[in-house]
Amino acid sequence: MPRDPKDAYRVLADILADRGIDINSLKRRVKNVEIETPSWGYSDSGTRFGVFRQPGAAATVEEKLADAGQVHKFTGVAPLVALHVLWDLQDGHQKVLDLASEYGVRVGSINPNVFQDQEYALGSITNRRAEVRRHAVNHMLDCVGIAVELKSEVLSLWFADGTNYPGEGDFRQRKAWAQECLKEVYDRMPASMRMLVEYKPFEPGFYHTDIADWGMAYTFARSCGERAHVLVDLGHHLPGANIEHIVAFLLDEERLGGFHFNNRKYADDDLTVGTINPYELFLIYNELIKAEDVPNGNPPVAYMVDQSHNTKPKIPAMIQTIMQIQISHAKALCVDRARLAHAQDVDNLVEAETCLQEAFNTDVSPLLEAAREEMGLAPNPLKAFAESCYSTKVSQERGVRKGLGGLGQ
């Protein structure tokens, strides 16, 4: 028998009340979320073995903003779009601003590209040649200007810098070059702008990468200044890394700048967030909620998706992603904090872990559906999008093209 949504909501409200949690306050919190989706998630993508073209995949910045607008229209919590300077910003910046507002979204982080030009084969900000480092810094300085014009306050940096062979480079010399370049860019950012420094343990450098882990990103960020923070991409850790611990540590240091949400099974797989290891995502959100409840001086956290859906249809895949994030967020809000704190106080390990397990096992769909209803949305965004026939329409109009996507175009 199909469940009555009102009954399900009342049952959940009672369960939460027993945990000392007011369902209305949770509803406010799940409504008050802004997630950024990546422009490159709407265009054709693939692996180094090939790119798969889908009818209707976005090929211009206008189409990417239009598709992102659909994700926001049906989820209500994805109003921001990350832009990649090389892939998206050939058109005039005013035009991009106008298009964003036409499609009901805003420009989110600005992502420079210092990894695709031929001259970056042996690195950008750690390249032995001063003229290549200069070129990379100039590009990032241009991006600061672009960000200002596009009213974006986040410069999000990822470097492909690294080496493939022992002996190829001098780690400490490269560290000094990276530091010098980052500081020059940082010093030219307006006071309203933040710099996010992303790390990655391998690929495309398979022997070493210059910003390999959170500690290195943190060190670079600290030596730039207060507005440089660490970006945690969930796919950029070696197997077994305790990401929730890293998140808590960075929050405590007031340096957690943002996330690139995705999930991994083997490497930097960019699979759908929360699908391979949902408990990990829940535990990460658990740390974020704790920090929201008792704020310190940590900057606002940018919640960004970094996924390219090579074989799934782009827009439904992104809506599914947003829904997955909402589920983990909502579950982490369901932890009985007082009971957990007490269990920790008296070293009751079973009870403490039970508090987390109970929250993780809570069916939060009645809460999310009620929140969507209050936002004037359909309870199931994926279904509502499918019924809108937008995909059929753009597939027919756009067809299959080779466009301005991301990597591999």
Whole-Å CA distances, 60 to 44, 56, 98, 314, 346: 11, 11, 15, 14, 58
Q: According to CB under 5 A, which residues from 298 to 317 bind Mn ion?
A: 306
Nearest approach, Cβ of 213 to ligand RM4 (angstroms)?
14
In sequence order, what DSSP letters do the residues of 241-307 get, joined into one string? Answer: --HHHHHHHHHHTT-EEEEEE-B-SSSS--BPTTSS-HHHHHHHHHHHHHHHHS--SPPPPEEEE--
Whole-Å CA distances, 170 to 51, 381, 402, 407: 35, 51, 40, 29
Q: Please, which residue, 9 or 259, has the CB nearer to ligand RM4?
A: 259
Listed residue (401, 310, 404, 391) closest to 60, CA to CA: 404
Question: Which residue's CB comes closest to ligand RM4?
Answer: 158
Q: According to CB under 6 A, which residues from 228 to 287 bind ligand RM4?
A: 233, 260, 268
Work out the end-to-end distance of the chain between its first and last CA atoms, rounded to an integer number of angstroms. 48
Single residue of 44, 210, 233, 244 touching Mn ion by CB under 5 A: 233
Nearest approach, Cβ of 80 to ligand RM4 (angstroms)?
15
Torsion angle, CA of 58/62/67/72, rounded to 10 degrees?
Answer: 160
Q: Please, which residue, 280 or 336, has the CB nearer to ligand RM4?
A: 280
By the rule CB under 6 A, 351 interacts with ligand RM4: no
161 binds, among ligand RM4, Mn ion, none (CB under 5 to 8 A by kind): none
Q: Please, which residue, 202 or 360, has the CB nearer to ligand RM4?
A: 202
* Binding footprint of ligand RM4, residue count (CB under 6 A): 9
By the rule CB under 5 A, 88 interacts with Mn ion: no
At 328, the amino acid letter reads S
By the rule CB under 6 A, 36 interacts with ligand RM4: no
What are the residues binding Mn ion (CB under 5 A)?
Answer: 233, 260, 268, 306
Q: Which residues bind ligand RM4 (CB under 6 A)?
A: 111, 158, 198, 200, 233, 260, 268, 306, 407
